[in-house]
Structure 1
Amino acid sequence: MNISQEKIDNLNAVVKINLTPADYQPRVEKTIKDQAKKAKIPGFRPGMVPAAHIKKMYGKNILVDEINNLLNDTLNKYLEDEKLEVLGQPLPKREDAHKEYNWDFADEFEFNYEIGLAPEFDVDFSSKDTITRYTIKADEETLASRIKNIRRAYGKMTNPDVSADDDVLYSVLEQLSPDGSVFEGGISNTGSVRLDQITDEAVKASLIGLKKDDTVTLDIQKAYGNDAAKIAGVLKIEEAEAADLKSDFKLTVKNVNRLEEADLNQEFFDKLFGEGNVTTEEGFREKITEEVEMMMQQDSERKLQNDIYNYSLNKVQFNLPDEFLKRWLQATNEKLTTEELEGGYDDFAKNLKWTLIANKVVRDGNIEIKYEDVFQYAKMSLDQQFRAYSQQSLPEEQLAQYTVQYLQNKEQANKIFEEVKAVRVFDYIKSVITLDNKEILFTDFNKLED
């Protein structure tokens, strides 16, 4: 066997493998003998099928399979021994597809594989690199909205005589014909119409001041800003049907529901924060502000990571074997069209570049990711998932058992490993660059570009 590498440039190479009968015949003969022992063929006792008979019937198929296995093993070992960092997977040269062999157990074979090489580059983050880290402060509008929602969550339902803004109209909705009459056999549903979901101010105004048994004509597409999902929810129909709906609806009020906000008193404070922990409206507002800004800080951290990602891609410049990678993507995704490939390649290349940068940071920074790190991260993620369905947390021992089971799935374990690696990489970069801390209102933060 002879294996060699021809370097095309710094990013592309061809690996050539030459096989002689001495390289593949022992593997082929062994497989033929193994199959002869297992084969069940009429006219032969089990385990007594002659190897020559198996070779005559299945020899060429076995030969092809064993040569493919040999090539795969040889190529992988070569890349490992030569410490070649390749991108994607080696691709057989297209010219090899036109070569003709006798496949008579005596052929000499030559196979050529194109490989894409990872670029060489340096990562030199330092205190000279500066990125803004935002401390988000709650603006009055956001704070007022949060306080209102909390007070309503602990409030009580009333049934006023006349509807007002933010009320809920429990109504009958009936589809109308073009002449304004109720469409016989059309869409009809009894349900709740929330005024705070009506996006058109003129439509909302027509629904304020209504009493029980009042009727109005509702342009439902206008009312919900052509939001098919919301319209489907109100009418209890499929979203596709809601998107095509052109009819107006007759709305008949059956009841007006209003959620009154809870009073800002000690009973309310104790329900929220525990007995005696908050005793004044000022203290209540401080607690809510703290809670809101803590949630906002998660948004700030996401933006910081995104800014580090983009900054890194701009700072660390290198090329990729783009043409090879495009061929590899098409070879491994048969349904991928040329248009889809060209449209999505830039994002693929950016993510690949970041992966290479992150791997370089891990190596240069001697970042070690232990099983315990992965285990604790997975346990935290699972705990958050369980808490989304129940306020009562799982016992520590049971949560640990779930985590062990979760990580036994190789795909899930690899996913968690990559997430932990990303966190460690971001933490490392943050530790060596300069973070310019800046306070910003939430409304202004939302205007920043990612």
Structure 2
Amino acid sequence: MNITQEKINDLNAVVKIKIAPEDYTEKVDKSIKEQAKKATLPGFRKGMVPAAHIKKMYGRSILVEEINNLLSETLNKHLTDNKVEILGQPLPVMDDTKEFKWDNTDEFEFDYELGLAPAIDVNITSKDKFTQYDVKADAETLAARIKNIRKSYGKMTNPEVSAEEDVLYAEIAQLSADGSVFEGGINHTGSIRLDQVTDKKILKTLVGLKKDDVVELDVQKAFDKNEVIIAKLLNISEEDAKDLKSKFQVTVKNVNRLEEADLNQEFFDKLFGAGTVTDEAGFTAKITEEVESMFNQDADRKLQNDMYTKLIDSVKIELPDEFLRRWLKATNEKLTDAELAEGYDDFAKNLKWTLIENKLIKDNNIEIKYEDVFQTAKQRLDAQFRMYSPAPMPEDQLAQYTATFLKEKDNANRIFDEVKAIKVFEHIKSVATIDQKEIAYNKFVDLLK
């Protein structure tokens, strides 16, 4: 067997593999004998089928399989032994001029295209400057969070007259063009959340209503053409909601109001555990700490994005683009040319970042341990649970959730990639100059636009 690699340019190469009968005959004969021992054919006892009979019936398919296995093993060994770094996978070169008899006497020759990983230099120094924002809760954002938490632990009441943040439980009937109820049209009893109404003029018409009041509602205008909200309100599909033109008659059946929980010891204990917080000042301090922790996660993401953008823009990386386009098409049969053209730039950018990450990890001996993956997954799950309840989940229960979560391969791979990125960003932070800057959340949000 003979294998050679021909370099086309710095990003492309062709591997040629030549296979002679002596390279595969023994493997094919062994496979035929094994098949004969297992075969169950009419007229023969199990395990007593002559090898010659198996060769006559299945010899060609066995030969094809063994050649394919030999090609795969040979190619992988060549790439490993010669430390050839490739992008994607080798692509077989189709050659209609080559015809094989597949009769155990053939000398085979197969060519494979390789997309070579480019050699890159990633140099981070103290001259590279980034800003780490320390995000503080402004009064408006903090008040909104406190209000939301108090409502989460509040109680439902039924006031006589609706206010801006109430929910109208109402019968909603589709109207014809002349303003009459459309017979056979949409008729649904549901809840209209006034805090979702974006049109201020319409909101005014829904405030001050009481039971049995009737008003007309333009749902598209009221909810700014949000098909998700409209579909849920009318119990129809989002597609139908998107195309809906009709107005609706709203007949109020009830007014529901979620009152905020009282700031008392019972409420504090429910949130934080017995005796942890004993007054309103302590409650506000705890919520401030919680929201600023979430804000600073956003700040970390911005810093990481700034680093990502700078390195993508500054590190010179050329890719074997034509090869990669062919490889994407070959490995995704349903991928259309239009989809490839639209998505290739993002694919290339992500691939470049992976090359940068791998270079930094290799050059700086960065390790990624399972414990890092586990702790990161646990933090992400804890944050999700706290969105529904600020009270922390018991540590042993959270650890059990995390272990179950990581058993899913996709989850484990996603968290591994996240930890990999975090480790790389931590290295960049340790080398570059990081300027610290305090900023109010409402100002920080403007930076993200």
Global fold match (TM > 0.5): yes
Q: After TM superposition, give the deviation of residue 343 of structure 1 in Å.
A: 0.9
Residue-by-residue CA offset, 1:210-242 (whole Å, 9 max, x unaligned):
222111111111111111110111122222222
SS of residue in 1 equivalent to 2:447: coil
Q: After TM superposition, give the deviation of residue 87 of structure 1 in Å.
A: 0.7
Call closer, same or farther: CA 1:392–1:442 in 2, change over 3 Å. closer
1:406/1:412 contact within 8 Å kept: yes
Q: After TM superposition, give the deviation of residue 166 of structure 1 in Å.
A: 1.7
CA distance in 2, matches of 1:77, 1:129: 41
CA distance in 1, matches of 2:411, 2:147: 40
CA distance in 1, matches of 2:374, 2:75: 34
Amino acid at match of 1:417: F
Call closer, same or farther: CA 1:383–1:165 in 2, change over 3 Å. closer
| Partner residue, 1:31 | 31
CA distance in 1, matches of 2:400, 2:348: 39
Confirm whether residue 63 of structure 1 aligns to residue 63 of structure 2.
yes
Call closer, same or farther: CA 1:214–1:8 in 2, change over 3 Å. same
1:11-160 paired onto structure 2 within 5 Å: 11-94=11-94, 96-160=95-159
Residue-by-residue CA offset, 1:277-336 (whole Å, 9 max, x unaligned):
656655544443332222111111111111111111122112111111111111101111
Amino acid at match of 2:62: I
CA distance in 1, matches of 2:431, 2:21: 57
| Partner residue, 1:356 | 355
Q: After TM superposition, give the deviation of residue 385 of structure 1 in Å.
A: 6.0
1:136/1:296 contact within 8 Å kept: yes
**Greater CA drift, 70-79 or 165-174:** 165-174
| Partner residue, 1:288 | 287
Call closer, same or farther: CA 1:224–1:298 in 2, change over 3 Å. same
CA distance in 2, matches of 1:381, 1:134: 21
1:256-295 paired onto structure 2 within 5 Å: 256-263=255-262, 272-273=271-272, 282-295=281-294
| Partner residue, 2:223 | 224
| Partner residue, 1:447 | 446
**Greater CA drift, 18-27 or 178-187:** 178-187
**Greater CA drift, 414-423 or 439-448:** 414-423
| Partner residue, 2:177 | 178
CA distance in 2, matches of 1:272, 1:45: 75
Residue-by-residue CA offset, 1:161-218 (whole Å, 9 max, x unaligned):
3222222222111112222222222222222212111111111111122222111111
Q: After TM superposition, give the deviation of residue 91 of structure 1 in Å.
A: 0.6
CA distance in 2, matches of 1:357, 1:164: 55
**Greater CA drift, 264-273 or 152-161:** 264-273
1:379-418 paired onto structure 2 within 5 Å: 379-381=378-380, 393=393, 396=396, 407=406, 412-418=411-417
CA distance in 2, matches of 1:91, 1:423: 33
CA distance in 2, matches of 1:395, 1:287: 20
CA distance in 2, matches of 1:24, 1:56: 17
CA distance in 2, matches of 1:229, 1:326: 36
- Structure 1 vs Structure 2 CA RMSD: 2.5
Amino acid at match of 1:72: S
CA distance in 1, matches of 2:422, 2:288: 28
Call closer, same or farther: CA 1:265–1:317 in 2, change over 3 Å. same
2:131/2:436 contact within 8 Å kept: yes
Residue-by-residue CA offset, 1:364-422 (whole Å, 9 max, x unaligned):
111122333334444555556677788673563x6656655655565554443333222
2:382/2:392 contact within 8 Å kept: no
Amino acid at match of 2:439: I
CA distance in 1, matches of 2:156, 2:24: 81
CA distance in 2, matches of 1:84, 1:169: 66
| Partner residue, 1:315 | 314
Q: Which runs of 5+ in 1 are unaligned?
A: none
Call closer, same or farther: CA 1:125–1:234 in 2, change over 3 Å. same
SS of residue in 2 equivalent to 1:189: strand
CA distance in 1, matches of 2:119, 2:53: 54
CA distance in 1, matches of 2:137, 2:223: 29
SS of residue in 2 equivalent to 1:447: helix
Call closer, same or farther: CA 1:164–1:140 in 2, change over 3 Å. same
CA distance in 1, matches of 2:162, 2:189: 18
SS of residue in 2 equivalent to 1:421: helix
Percent identity reads: 65
Q: After TM superposition, give the deviation of residue 47 of structure 1 in Å.
A: 1.1
1:175/1:250 contact within 8 Å kept: yes
1:190-339 paired onto structure 2 within 5 Å: 190-263=189-262, 272-273=271-272, 282-339=281-338
Q: After TM superposition, give the deviation of residue 97 of structure 1 in Å.
A: 4.4
Call closer, same or farther: CA 1:271–1:83 in 2, change over 3 Å. closer
Q: Which runs of 5+ in 2 are unaligned?
A: none
| Partner residue, 1:9 | 9
CA distance in 2, matches of 1:409, 1:112: 38
Q: TM-score, normalised by structure 2?
A: 0.92
Confirm whether residue 166 of structure 1 aligns to residue 177 of structure 2.
no
Amino acid at match of 2:156: M
